[in-house]
Structure 1
Amino acid sequence: MIKRIGEMIKIKPEGLQKYKEYHANPTPGVNEVIKESNIANYSIYQRGDYMFAYYEYVGEDFQSDMKKMAENPITQDWWDLVKPLMEPLEDRDEGEFWSGMEEVYHLD
């Protein structure tokens, strides 16, 4: 079963261009780690100061796969580059960096 996920975060105005540059040419291994973590159809969109991410989780154990990805040195190096450019939303849940969203409609 596919789990669809939408998330939001703010981008610091002074970080937008650098964020786009990093994502236009991710550091080696970043995309491979994402795919190995059972994430597919991953997209990030920008409007003003906001970023919206959509992806599909196609694995069997989301929490375990996300933990492995977070512990991966390639992921950690990537986050060291991009996290300083972002600003979590004030209303995020405890422990969130990107704010999770509720899916209210889907059509296949």
Structure 2
Amino acid sequence: MSIPHTKRVCQLIKLKPEYETQYKEVHSAVWPGVLAALETHNVADYSIHYFPPLHLLIATFKYTGTGYDKDMKAIGEDPITQEWWKVTDMMQESFNDGATGSGKDIPWWTEVEEVFRMEGVLHR
């Protein structure tokens, strides 16, 4: 089933190697309030992948709303999400100079440019 969306987002951040096991453990049971905030603010099809050789976390999601900046700000103001970030931010290292954590003026995760997309299924 296809999810309608207005924007696809891909973000990167470095996972501190000593937190690999712990990071995977906390993400095996993401807090329901965090998931609810994402859903309420039009985030769908969210996933995080890990590339161990570079300690790289790669997050992708679809944004299905019409006010991306407003929704991202609202997620950042959610108290449960803020508590979640206190747990996860300490395990990460931002690529953005001056970033001090999620929900601040300088983005914690680095958003990357989409250079190719193929949608749908080819019919033969």
Structure whose alpha-carbon radius of gyration is higher: 2
Aligned-pair CA distance for 1:82: 0.3
8 Å Cα contact 2:7-2:63 kept in structure 1 = yes
- Give per-residue Cα distances to partners, 1:63-103, cap 9 Å, x unaligned: 11011110010110000000000001157998121011000
Match of 1:21 among 21, 25, 34: 25
* Structure 1 residue 10 corresponds to structure 2 residue 17: no
Classify the secondary structure of the residue corresponding to 1:83: helix
* CA root-mean-square deviation: 1.8
- Give per-residue Cα distances to partners, 1:53-72, cap 9 Å, x unaligned: 00010001001101111001
Provide runs of 4+ in structure 1 moved above 2 Å. 90-94
* Structure 1 residue 46 corresponds to structure 2 residue 46: no
Aligned-pair CA distance for 1:27: 2.1
* Structure 1 residue 56 corresponds to structure 2 residue 62: yes
Classify the secondary structure of the residue corresponding to 1:29: helix
Question: Unpaired segments of 5 or more residues in structure 2?
Answer: 100-104, 120-124
Equivalent residue for 2:95? 89
The normalised TM-score by structure 1 is: 0.93
Equivalent residue for 2:111? 100
Paired-residue identity, %: 35
Classify the secondary structure of the residue corresponding to 2:37: helix
Match of 1:36 among 24, 34, 40: 40
- Structure 1 pair 57/90, CA: closer, same or farther in 2 (3 Å)? closer
Distance 2:113 2:47 in 1: 17
The normalised TM-score by structure 2 is: 0.81
Aligned-pair CA distance for 1:2: 1.9
Question: Unpaired segments of 5 or more residues in structure 1?
Answer: none
Distance 2:86 2:59 in 1: 19
Equivalent residue for 1:72? 78
